[in-house]
């Protein structure tokens, strides 16, 4: 089992245009079959570009494993944000380049894994 950093970008899904400035980064431990080890704590951040400030904003989260059967993990932003609920369907996915997953928030957004790096 290895710890990896997963770098993914939002892609065009027909409802939302591709945006390489919309990024989800995860740091997780993988099982030998290249799925996420749900026995270990995982974390990450969403990064988005702000046109207002011309800078990137990062929103860190802890990945809470909700239901492996439903393939869902919740992005827990901690005490500063108790209203935002976001989930991703990544738990049973084979973690590799070009694999896709969906972020469920105010809408659905498709992300593609661009890079998996052992850390």
Per-residue pLDDT of 30-53, as tens digits, reads 999 999 998 888 999 999 888 899
Q: Is residue 67 part of a domain?
A: yes
Classify residue 88: in a domain, yes or no. Answer: no
- 70-100 residue pLDDT tens: 788 888 877 666 666 789 999 889 999 999 9
Whether the Cβ atoms of residue 60 and residue 43 lie closer than 8 Å to each other: yes
Q: How confident is the model at residue 115 (pLDDT cuts 50, 70, 90)?
A: very high
The CA distance from 106 to 84, in Å, is 9
**Residue 54 counted as domain residue:** yes
Contact yes or no for 89/100 (Cβ under 8 A): no
Domain coverage including residue 44:
2-81+94-118
Q: Please count the structural domains in the chain.
A: 1
Token output for 49: 């570009």
Residue 10 included in any domain: yes
* pLDDT digits 0-9 by tens, 1-11: 799 999 999 99
Q: Is residue 102 part of a domain?
A: yes
pLDDT at 81: 61
Q: Is residue 89 part of a domain?
A: no
Instruction: Please report whether residue 99 resides in a domain.
Output: yes
Which comes out higher in pLDDT, residue 19 or 34?
34
Backbone angles phi, psi at 117, to 5 degrees: -125, 130
Closest CA relative to residue 60, chosen from 42, 45, 49, 71: 45
């Amino acid at each position: 089992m290895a710890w990896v950093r997963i770098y993914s970008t939002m892609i065009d899904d027909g409802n939302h245009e591709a945006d390489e400035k919309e990024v989800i980064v995860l740091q997780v431990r993988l099982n030998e079959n290249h799925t996420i080890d749900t026995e270990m704590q995982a974390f990450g951040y969403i990064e988005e570009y702000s046109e207002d400030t011309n800078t990137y904003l990062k929103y860190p989260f802890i990945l809470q494993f909700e239901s492996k059967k439903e393939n869902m993990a919740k992005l827990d932003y901690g005490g500063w944000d108790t209203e935002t609920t976001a989930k991703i369907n990544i738990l049973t996915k084979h973690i590799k380049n070009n694999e896709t997953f969906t972020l469920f928030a105010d809408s659905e957004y498709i992300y593609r894994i661009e890079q998996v790096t052992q850390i």
